[in-house]
Amino acid sequence: MKGKAVPDEHHVSRYCSPSRLRESDDRPAPPAFQLRDGEEYLSVDWLEFLHPSDRGIQLATVQDLFEKQRGFELKPAGRFAILNVGTARATVQEQTPDNRVLAVTHLPDPNVAGDSHSGIFNVNHNPASGLLIATLLSETVQEVRIPQA
């Protein structure tokens, strides 16, 4: 259902291209969580929407959606960053001067069965606060996974 809030206890993944990873440890750098021009939200995928608990199945399905349904080529050196929704929301709210409240919403494509596409809203375009939020999100990444060949 479009517009449904992703529960705080669930997880989302964001694909991070190699250019948005830290060289030191291949973890997402803050630019992986910054809005690009024209974006209203950060694109993520709701993992528990795909499978209740098996991370391998969740990410294999996300990868399939990227490659077959969305026509996006994943780079072998890219990474999937996994965030807990509640942790990310609480961290940003607690550590931003305006107590920013992020909304994480399911935004499936109606033409794609089982689409887990979602968005993180209320991420700022303002360079200073946008960088702070991106930094906080990068610090809340719980897990990093390599796309499967």
Partners of 45 in beta bridges: 13, 117
Residue 27, in any domain of the structure: yes
**10-14, 62-66, 80-84 — which is least confidently predicted?**
62-66
How far is residue 55's CA from residue 58's CA, in Å, rounded to a whole number? 5
How far is residue 9's CA from residue 7's CA, in Å, rounded to a whole number? 5
* Mean pLDDT score, 63-82: 92
pLDDT in tens, 1-58: 468 999 999 999 999 999 999 999 999 999 999 999 899 999 999 999 999 999 999 9
CA neighbor of 92 nearest in space, from 117, 119, 124, 118:
124
Residue 4, in any domain of the structure: no
Residue 102, in any domain of the structure: yes
At how many degrees (to 10) do helices 127-139 and 85-95 cross?
140
Residue 5, in any domain of the structure: no
How far is residue 61's CA from residue 47's CA, in Å, rounded to a whole number? 9
Domain range for 40 is: 11-145
How sure is the predictor about 105, in pLDDT bands with cuts at 50, 70 and 90?
A: very high
Residue 112, in any domain of the structure: yes
Predicted pLDDT at 1: 40
CB distance 144 to 77 below 8 Å = no
Predicted pLDDT at 34: 95
Question: Which tokens hold the place of 60?
Answer: 């294999």
pTM of the model: 0.94
Residue 3, in any domain of the structure: no
Residue 55, in any domain of the structure: yes
Number of domains in the chain: 1
Largest CA distance in the chain: 42
Predicted pLDDT at 111: 87
CA neighbor of 107 nearest in space, from 55, 59, 53, 42:
42
Tokens 């999937």 correspond to what residue? 80
Residue 6, in any domain of the structure: no
